[in-house]
């Protein structure tokens, strides 16, 4: 039974939301996928969760989803790491469109000040063409290489009340944002937000947002503790690390965020991100762009290789990714968790599918010791799972092939 666990996943529904179609062709066994096999044999140790969505089209090109869910548990906490940056980026665009202020757009200079010791200002960004920060440039950095500071700046712009209320409005009910990323300050200080000014190209102020704070306390309801021990600075502390005031983004919500930006028409209007088609295409372009294809910001392709943030199928290799493939995704990795939520496309073969997964690679159960099995287990797991599902999709018969031309962006 364990040998063909993925087949059981697809065929008999260990937690499936619907019955799979009879014509789904399956790879025989997992002999060619040793790490995937290893992880699926011990789901408790690796805390693995998977959502795979097949996409079929009707005669009008409208997508129809068939979901397959393995070991999915929205109440089981995992640290979402950088995946929370995707909804934050989308909400920043939604906020921008709500302002309806002439001259305020993606490229308008966004100058962040500081009024508390825990805050840092941001008046310049040397990675942008004009050396000035902006909402658009922050989003590029988030989607290209998962830049922490860029995400924190948008967090400071929006504030926790806006972010969390919008997530609930859209039906993303298993998530809560509580903190900046890789910025070690207290939960109290994370409830204070920097003053921000937007200025046009001549330096004239278009909008000023004062320093703000929220009295609402956002907390992960499960009050999770992870691991057997953790390091705080140079001290080893026995017992689980408390994640009550860290972010949560359940896998089903991450999967749903990716689906909402790729196929907004598949959701009720109240569940969508309210962004224009221009802004939606902007997001899709940079979700799928490889770091080497970007000029501003520019990245060293040795450090930021093609598979750097494209885990499924390609995450275990530093070789170039063929242009026949585009992956519209957001990854995260921290504390031994690796997460990826993706829309996978092969233009040459008309393949498209969604897949999201999380795996935990922390054999010694000690956090902050920089000893994780990311290279040995985490990345190979994603590469093998992506390849496995891709092979299924290559063989899957579709009555109406998808028109993927609208996803072919100019990356020059």
Instruction: Tell me the pLDDT tens digit for each residue of 238-285.
Output: 999 999 999 999 999 999 999 999 999 999 999 999 999 999 999 999
In whole numbers, what is the pLDDT of the chain averaged over residues? 93
Residue 289 predicted with pLDDT over 70: yes
Which residue's structure tokens are 């392709």? 301
Helix (H) or strand (E) holding 242: strand 241-242
Asked if residues 96 and 120 have their Cβ atoms less than 8 Å apart, the reply is: no
| pLDDT on residue 11 | 41
Asked if residues 128 and 296 have their Cβ atoms less than 8 Å apart, the reply is: yes
| pLDDT on residue 31 | 83
Asked if residues 143 and 152 have their Cβ atoms less than 8 Å apart, the reply is: no
Q: What is the mean pLDDT of residues 17-27?
A: 38
Helix (H) or strand (E) holding 11: helix 5-11
**Residue 61's pLDDT band (cuts 50, 70, 90):** confident
Q: Which residues contact 278 (CB under 8 A, 6 or more apart)?
A: none
- In angstroms, the CA 125 to CA 271 distance is 34
- Each residue's pLDDT tens digit, 383-396: 999 999 999 999 99
- In angstroms, the CA 232 to CA 369 distance is 10
**Residue 299's pLDDT band (cuts 50, 70, 90):** very high
Which residue's structure tokens are 């009550």? 244
**Residue 18's pLDDT band (cuts 50, 70, 90):** very low
% of the chain surpassing 70 pLDDT: 93
Query: DSSP of 99-163, one letter per residue?
Result: H--TT-STTSEEEE---STT---B---TTSTTS--BHHHHHHHHHHH--HHHHHHHHHHH-HHHH
Least confident of 1-15, 18-32, 147-161: 1-15
């Amino acid at each position: 039974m364990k040998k063909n666990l993925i087949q059981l996943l697809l065929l008999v529904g260990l937690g499936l939301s619907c019955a799979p179609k009879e014509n789904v062709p399956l790879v025989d066994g997992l002999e060619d996928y040793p790490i995937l096999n290893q992880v699926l044999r011990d789901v408790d140790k690796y805390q693995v969760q998977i959502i795979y969505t097949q996409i079929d089209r009707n005669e009008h090109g409208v997508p129809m989803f068939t979901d397959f869910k393995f070991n999915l548990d929205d109440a089981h906490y995992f640290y979402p790491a950088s995946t929370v940056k995707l909804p934050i980026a989308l909400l920043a665009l939604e906020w921008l469109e709500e302002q309806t202020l002439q001259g305020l757009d993606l490229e308008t200079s966004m100058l962040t000040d500081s009024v508390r010791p825990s805050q840092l200002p941001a008046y310049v960004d040397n990675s942008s063409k004009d050396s000035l920060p902006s909402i658009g440039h922050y989003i590029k950095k988030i989607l290209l290489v998962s830049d922490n500071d860029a995400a924190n700046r948008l967090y400071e712009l929006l504030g926790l009340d806006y972010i969390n209320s919008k997530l609930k409005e859209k039906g993303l009910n298993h998530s809560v944002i509580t903190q900046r990323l890789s910025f070690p300050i207290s939960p109290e200080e994370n409830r204070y937000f920097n003053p921000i000014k937007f200025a046009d190209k001549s330096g004239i102020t278009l909008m000023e947002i004062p320093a703000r704070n929220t009295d609402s306390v956002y907390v992960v309801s499960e009050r999770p503790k992870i691991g057997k021990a953790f390091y705080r600075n140079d001290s080893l502390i026995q017992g689980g690390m408390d994640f009550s005031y860290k972010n949560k983004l359940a896998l089903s919500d991450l999967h749903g965020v990716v689906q909402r930006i790729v196929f907004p028409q598949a959701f009720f209007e109240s569940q969508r991100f309210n962004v224009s088609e221009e802004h939606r295409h902007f997001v899709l372009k940079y979700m799928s762009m490889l770091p080497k294809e970007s000029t501003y910001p520019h990245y060293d392709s040795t450090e930021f290789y093609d598979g750097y943030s494209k885990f499924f199928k390609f995450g275990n290799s530093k070789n170039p990714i063929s242009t026949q493939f585009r992956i519209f995704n957001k990854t995260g990795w921290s504390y031994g968790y690796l997460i990826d939520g993706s829309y996978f496309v092969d233009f040459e073969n008309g393949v498209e599918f969604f897949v999201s997964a999380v795996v935990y690679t922390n054999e010694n159960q000690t956090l902050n010791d920089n000893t994780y099995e990311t290279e040995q287990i985490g990345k190979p797991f994603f590469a093998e799972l992506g390849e496995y599902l891709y092979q299924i999709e290559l063989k899957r018969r579709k009555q109406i092939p998808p028109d993927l031309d609208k996803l072919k962006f100019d990356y020059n």
